Amino acid sequence: MKDLLRKILKTGRVAEDAPDRPEAASPDRTRALGGSVQVRHVDAGSCNGCEVEIASAFGPVYDAERYGARQVASPRHADALMVTGPVTRNMEMALRRTYEAVPEPKVVVAVGDCARNCGVFAEAYGVAGAVGDVVPVDVEVRGCPPEPEAIVAALRGLTGR
Ligand code: SF4
């Protein structure tokens, strides 16, 4: 136990230094969220690349939680949906229902180029459309996949921290 405590003290902080606060995505919504956002992630058909970056964004190095963003297991506990991938036909209804389950005021963040405009999967037979074709999108995060810094910046734009 002592060794472990010594190691923790010696290691110190591993998180990246906090960059400057980004501009709020929407000042009204940011005010309504009150400095924290509970996020439900929905993989609507991603290749999993975006999920790896989201995991990094919430990991110890980028540490999105220090800015008030937290992942939750149910859309009923969420303020925001973070959607990845193009929306496949099999996920279209599930995404609509998940969106309906999130209480107002709610925010949708489309993470990655596939979520924004179907990306490399555009016109694939199993794709129903981009996230914005199925539910209203408030914030987009560019990239294939987006870097964790960009995901954290988008979440900070919601929490205002
Ligand atoms: S944006 Fe790139 S990494 Fe993300 S789901 Fe699409 S292909 Fe995969």
Q: Which domains does the chain have, with CATH numbers?
A: 36-159 (3.40.50.12280)
Which is the closest atom of ligand 1 to the Cα of 49? 3
3-state secondary structure 41-69: EEECCCCCHHHHHHHHHCCCCCCHHHHCE
Ligand 1 pocket: which of 41, 47, 117 to mutate (most atoms within 8 A of CB): 47
Of 15, 25, 56, give the one whose Cα is nearest residue 155: 25
Nearest CA to ligand 1 atom 6: 114
Query: For 106, what's the count of Cα atoms within 13 Å in the CB-facing half-sphere?
Result: 20
> Per residue in 121-131, pLDDT tens?
999 999 999 99
Ranges 22-26, 102-106, 136-140, 141-145: which has the least confidence: 22-26
| Type of residue numbered 22 | P
* Residues in Cβ contact with 43 at an 8 Å cutoff, skipping those fewer than 6 apart: 51, 84, 85, 91
Rounded mean pLDDT of the chain? 92
Task: Tell me if 40 sits within 8 A of 80, measured CB to CB.
Answer: yes
> Per residue in 17-58, pLDDT tens?
888 777 766 666 666 677 899 999 999 999 999 999 999 999
Predicted confidence at residue 76, as pLDDT, reads: 97
